[in-house]
Amino acid sequence: MDLNSKKMSREERERKLIFKHKFENRITIARYGKESLDAGDYGNALHRFVEYLGIIAEYKEVKDLYSLRVSHFDPKKELTEMMMISHIFLQLARIYDASPKFQDECKRCLDQFVAFSSNQPYQVVNSELIRKSIKKSMYKQTGIFLEAHKKIYTQSKKCYVVTFCYGPEHQITKDYRDLKDWMLNYRWGQNFIRFYYTYSSRIVPRWEKSLAMHFFSKLLIRPVLVLFSKTILRLILNKC
């Protein structure tokens, strides 16, 4: 091995060691960012959050933090990390929202927040997180944050009770998803869906383990869902 090869090999080992140290300390970096944000030090919070997401991007071998996708993660092993990533994107959007010149960055972070929230077990938690922050008037560009909140449900494929009864690909399940999309156009519908997701996401996983609830769904819930889907639901969808 010549001198240049030895030098490159040594530099590569050093680079890997440095990155290993950074990756092992990524949670601490994210925590420093949250502490800075709480203290009102937005510059340092921004630096720390971007550093954390940059480490994750490098670990996943993607170009940058905006190139991170849910598909890059194993939800069985990395669910906690995915949830933290979603929260950090929301905090970055909050920081960028403070200045009009960073509106594009704010939207990109919100898009990532939505992508890492939709169809995840913590979807309801994230929806409530952004809803409560909007209610507290924490943002200047309230409209784009309201849109992000709506997108979490619009992009979600889950309809817990119907999916429990018929599975995710049944036509009745798809019809109820269309109903959800229609309801999201109205404030009352958004409130209802938020209430529905909050409680059904907790209850239905318990039903799945209960033979009695499977029997009850066949005896009563399914017939009610079918009747509604062939009457009132059909009228609603035909008008859409």
Reduce the secondary structure of the chain to three states and give it as a string: CCHHHHHHHHHHHHHHHHHHHHHHCHHHHHHHHHHHHHCCCHHHHHHHHHHHHHHHHHHCCCCCHHHCCHHHCCHHHHHHHHHHHHHHHHHHHHHHHCCHHHHHHHHHHHHHHHHCCCCCCCHHHHHHHHHHHHHCCCCCCHHHHHHHHHHHHHCCCCCHHHHHHHCCCCHHHHHHHHHHHHHCCCHHHHHHHHHHHHHHHHHHHHHCCCHHHHHHHHHHHHHHHHHHHHCHHHHHHHHC
Q: Does one domain contain both 166 and 229?
A: yes
41 DSSP 8-state letter? -
Q: Does one domain contain both 146 and 222?
A: no
Q: Does one domain contain both 137 and 178?
A: no
Q: In Å, what is the CA distance from 237 to each residue of 174, 175, 177?
A: 12, 8, 11
Number of domains the chain is built from: 2
Q: How many CA atoms lie within 13 A of 61 on its CB side?
A: 0
- The parent domain of residue 226 ranges over 157-240
Q: Does one domain contain both 132 and 174?
A: no
Q: Does one domain contain both 43 and 99?
A: yes
Q: Does one domain contain both 9 and 76?
A: yes
233: which 2 tokens? 């639901």
pTM (two decimals): 0.75
Instruction: Give yes or no for a contact between 141 and 103, defined as CB atoms under 8 angstroms apart.
Output: yes
| pLDDT digit string, tens, across residues 112-139 | 999 999 988 888 889 888 988 988 888 9
- Distance from C-alpha of 111 to C-alpha of 117, rounded to nearest angstrom: 10
Q: Which of 156, 191, 224 is the last residue of a domain?
A: 156
Q: Does one domain contain both 67 and 168?
A: no
Provide the percentage of residues in the chain whose pLDDT is more than 90: 42
Q: Does one domain contain both 121 and 238?
A: no
Query: Is residue 30 predicted with pLDDT exceeding 90?
Result: yes
Res 161: pLDDT: 86
Taking residues 217-223, report their average pLDDT: 87
Q: Does one domain contain both 62 and 127?
A: yes
| pLDDT digit string, tens, across residues 176-190 | 888 887 887 787 887
Query: Is residue 54 predicted with pLDDT exceeding 80?
Result: yes
Q: Does one domain contain both 43 and 139?
A: yes
Query: Is residue 94 predicted with pLDDT exceeding 90?
Result: yes
- Distance from C-alpha of 151 to C-alpha of 173, rounded to nearest angstrom: 19
Q: Which of 139, 156, 173 is the last residue of a domain?
A: 156
Phi, psi dihedral angles at 218 (to 5 degrees): -70, -35
At residue 166 the predicted structure's pLDDT band, cuts being 50, 70 and 90, is confident
Q: Does one domain contain both 210 and 182?
A: yes
Q: Does one domain contain both 194 and 162?
A: yes
Res 7: pLDDT: 56
Q: Which of 104, 132, 156 is the last residue of a domain?
A: 156
66 DSSP 8-state letter? G
- Distance from C-alpha of 203 to C-alpha of 240, rounded to nearest angstrom: 31
50: which 2 tokens? 């971007």
